[in-house]
Amino acid sequence: MPLDAFKLREASEEDLEFAYELDKKLMKPYAELHIKWNEDEQRRGFAKWFHQPHVMQIIEVAGKNAGVVCYSSRGDFFHIESLELDSEFQNLGIGSKILKLLITEARKHRFPVKLLVFKENDRAISLYKKLGFEIVGEDLKEAKYYMRLE
């Protein structure tokens, strides 16, 4: 199987712990630059977000949970809420391929694509810019950039 081969499947309740632990592993270092991490609050907030109405999928590579992607259509735009790949699956082209699939889906509906990214997440920002996203604003409270692709 090629290194960039992946499968997307709908997330289920059984995936909540995997998704939370992955989010914590990848996002906590950025979040802690701006907030004091409270495990109980973060876990509750994540569970609430996990159960919101949106598409949440588990990214599998060779039968192993490799990441999570979450997105939604919000009336007149397409919102990528989260794309997280465990470190061993990064830099293999998987994230780029998933983003391109989402962009293609949004373009079918002629929707722009929006997302938020931590200002310090240079690797993600670089990837988004390579795909044509532009920084269009910032959230000072959460220290994130708003990015958009027409």
Q: What pLDDT, on the 0 to 100 scale, is given for residue 3?
A: 59
Domains, the chain, in order of start with CATH, read: 7-149 (3.40.630.30)
The answer to whether the predicted template modeling score (pTM) of the entire model surpasses 0.85 is: yes
d(CA 64, CA 84): 14
Q: What pLDDT, on the 0 to 100 scale, is given for residue 141?
A: 86
Segments in the chain forming alpha helices (H): 16-31, 39-50, 94-108, 122-130
Q: What pLDDT, on the 0 to 100 scale, is given for residue 137?
A: 97
β-bridge partners, 37: none
Q: In a structure prediction context, what are the per-residue pLDDT tens digits for the chain, which is 150 residues long?
A: 565 689 999 999 999 999 999 999 999 999 999 899 999 999 999 999 999 999 999 999 999 999 999 999 988 999 999 999 999 999 999 999 999 999 999 999 999 999 999 999 999 999 999 999 999 999 988 899 999 999
Q: What pLDDT, on the 0 to 100 scale, is given for residue 106?
A: 95
The encoded tokens of residue 31 equal: 């979040």
